Structure 1
Amino acid sequence: MQFSNVCLHDFGYVLPPVTLTSDDIEVRLAPLYERLKLPHGRLELMSGIQSRRLWNKGTRPSEGAAQAGNVALERAGVDRADVGCLIFTSVSRDMMEPATAAFVHRSLELPGSCHIFDLSNACLGFLNGMIMLANMIELGQVKSGVIVAGETAEDLVESTMRHMLEEQSLTRKSVKPLFASLTIGSGAVAIVMSDKRVCDTGHSLIGGSCRANTAYNHLCQGGQNSEQGTLMSTDSEELLRQGIETAADCWHGFQQELGWSGEGIDRFFCHQVGKAHAQALFKRLELDPRKNFETLPVLGNVGSVSAPVTMGMGIEQGQLVAGQKAALLGIGSGINSLMLGIEW
């Protein structure tokens, strides 16, 4: 896929107020660690995550998404009356019905003529939303639009810790699929995209590539359990292997589609799972890991928010400047991979 008329404004993001360290989690899980003789420090050692952020109790996904949306709209300076589309892209949602986008739309005071809908695809939802909006812009259907995501990890993290403490039948082997849930964090991000024929920021979405490898859709599954809250089971080792191979196929398509090479890209912003994942990804794709900007140690895995919020923070810190090329590299359960090329 390629785009000719799509420009990006600056990202807006919001980091939740509560910091939960990996040490805090292990102190809470001390009885489990003692029973299974697990070494303290295991969680940070395995994941590379020192801390993750959480919202105050009761915060809805739409609230964080709306806050980030306001930041993005204010930075863009786009007239809200010209916003023709709003897409909410998180794993987390306020409720089954109506669409969470309806709550964000109301909070942002966007016009009644604005298309609004939810788009969910595990950790790739935000990037999928960028493609959907880019298509609408290319077709001349909208002048500008907003992509938002607000992930709320509180229930998953709390339910997982409670289950690990209460389920006495857990062994060193059977507890492994639960640890990935403790790497998850909360956050919110948004971006305004416009038709460069109307408003050219100089930052262009060039195109991208996608791959689906659904033979492995069983490796990471989760949802609401009526008795135990939200739980997720992840075969982390096999998910890493198959995810990397899916990403390698996607990367091959990305290079062919855009005519870009790894050497010509100045900065990479990735969906972040853990340090082992990042190391394996860059080795397999034969990319320079020094070009990878990370927020993993302080934010953890923030689902659909991870890659875009990392890019937003990287831009703020001068890690991507005008005239440079960037690639958003996404891998999500399913398994799916999506990569986007941006000229900043």
Structure 2
Amino acid sequence: MSHSRFESIGAYLPSKRVTTEELVSQLKETPGFDLEKITGVKERRFRDTTPENHEDSYILAMNAAQDCLSRSQYAAADLDVIISTSITRSRGTKMYMQPSFAGTLARDLGARADTISFDLSNACAGMMTGTYILDRMIRSGAVKRGMVVSGEAITPIAETAVEEITEKYDLQFASLTVGDSGAAVIIDEAVDDNDKIHYIELTTASEFSHLCLGMPSEKSQGVSLYTDNRKMHNESRFLLWTDTQGNFMADRGTTFEDEGFDYIIHHQFGAGAIPFMNAIAAREFGHPMPPDLNVIEKYGNTSTTSHFIVLHDQLSQQNIASGSKVLMVPAASGVVGGFLSTTISSLKV
């Protein structure tokens, strides 16, 4: 059975920077805590909403896909499958379910008429889920290579939160941490163990699904995200990852120490919660966690794209040496957990 690898990576970040201080200053009620200190988010990117340069989910995704193709050995016509995993699906001022973003991207990028294209949505684990499916398609021999792409114009939930938060603690506070972005990866067949997705597994614990819900606002015509952070970021939720990966490694006859990870990338949901999550993991696995790579201070939570924005950023700064083994840990509404293990050698930015 073949394995897959990350062949190339692309990203797009809007130029507009909005600080946490700016957002908090617009609230009607000052929070009962220091939002920047707790979340670690100093600023995030907001899409351009001017008529002449309007940026929507599709444009963010297209820019990331083109960036990805610019450093790939493949052209769009070489791709067998394109998977779009955006939560937000805006084009102009409208939200689209049909036609699919993936199909439209495939056409506009110049993919073949027989290229498989489809959308999927799995909250902030979207790109990880697309990677999971494409990895399995390559392993089965169904395809040779493909792209997973996402464009997230998700800051409208922050704009709604600014208008609607009136209490010192509100379920919309997490909305103030999000930022807009696009990310894309091309995945093909691995040729050796030095450049390879070793494994990826995902799991859902629906008993936690009510803790983070995106929906039309209860107060206005905006879109909102309601997150119970106190219950979301606690030990029982974090054990979803460690229990799942612990059982997986036990079945393989390995330990966390045996895996030899050089770095770990968590979903970028909060600088305060991640050290707690790592402490629980160190206790459960009986081994210290590797260095944590993150970009939460400058980009915030970019939802589906977060792991790949981190990867792109750290590769661009040459902070990941060739041959490094990286563990990616998703955390998404649903609640979705899991893990991805990959060794990266040829991936460059």
TM-score of the superposed pair, with normalisation by structure 1: 0.89
Q: Which runs of 5+ in 1 are unaligned?
A: 165-169
SS in 2 for 1:291: coil
Select which of 56, 60, 63 maps to 2:48: 56
Select which of 29, 33, 44 maps to 1:32: 29
Matched with 2:321 is: 321
Percentage of pairs with the same residue? 24
C-alpha distance in 2 between matches for 1:109 and 1:177: 43
Q: Which runs of 5+ in 2 are unaligned?
A: 91-95, 345-349
Select which of 152, 172, 180 maps to 1:178: 172
Between 324-333 and 55-64, the greater mean CA deviation after superposition: 55-64
Matched with 1:222 is: 214
C-alpha distance in 1 between matches for 2:153 and 2:247: 33
Once superposed, what is the RMSD of the aligned Cα atoms? 2.1
Between 201-210 and 123-132, the greater mean CA deviation after superposition: 201-210
* 1:237 equivalent in alignment to 2:230: yes
C-alpha distance in 1 between matches for 2:116 and 2:88: 20
C-alpha distance in 1 between matches for 2:273 and 2:212: 15
C-alpha distance in 1 between matches for 2:88 and 2:295: 21
Matched with 1:308 is: 308
Aligned residues: 327
Deviation at 1:99, TM superposition (A): 1.4
- For residues 173-213 of structure 1, the C-alpha deviation after alignment (integer angstroms, 9 at most, x for no partner) is xx42111111111111111011236xx79521111222221
Partners of 1:146 and 1:192 within 8 A in 2: yes
C-alpha distance in 2 between matches for 1:257 and 1:93: 39
Distance 1:326 1:290, change over 3 A: closer
C-alpha distance in 1 between matches for 2:149 and 2:193: 19
Partners of 2:20 and 2:36 within 8 A in 1: yes
C-alpha distance in 2 between matches for 1:127 and 1:257: 22
- For residues 281-310 of structure 1, the C-alpha deviation after alignment (integer angstroms, 9 at most, x for no partner) is 100100645611110111111101111111
- For residues 157-183 of structure 1, the C-alpha deviation after alignment (integer angstroms, 9 at most, x for no partner) is 11111112xxxxx433xx421111111
Letter in 2 for 1:212: T
Partners of 1:90 and 1:125 within 8 A in 2: yes
- For residues 141-172 of structure 1, the C-alpha deviation after alignment (integer angstroms, 9 at most, x for no partner) is 222100001111231111111112xxxxx433
Distance 1:151 1:212, change over 3 A: same
Superposition pairs of residues 267-282 of structure 1, within 5 angstroms: 267-282=263-278
Partners of 1:251 and 1:285 within 8 A in 2: no
* 1:83 equivalent in alignment to 2:79: yes
- For residues 113-162 of structure 1, the C-alpha deviation after alignment (integer angstroms, 9 at most, x for no partner) is 11111111111110110111111111222221000011112311111111
Superposition pairs of residues 1-344 of structure 1, within 5 angstroms: 4-29=2-27, 31-33=28-30, 38=31, 42-57=34-49, 58-94=54-90, 95-164=96-165, 170-172=166-168, 175-196=169-190, 202-225=194-217, 227-241=220-234, 242-256=236-250, 259=254, 261-262=256-257, 264-286=260-282, 288=288, 291-344=291-344
C-alpha distance in 1 between matches for 2:22 and 2:316: 29
Partners of 1:254 and 1:339 within 8 A in 2: no
SS in 1 for 2:301: coil
TM-score of the superposed pair, with normalisation by structure 2: 0.88
Letter in 1 for 2:238: I
C-alpha distance in 2 between matches for 1:285 and 1:5: 27
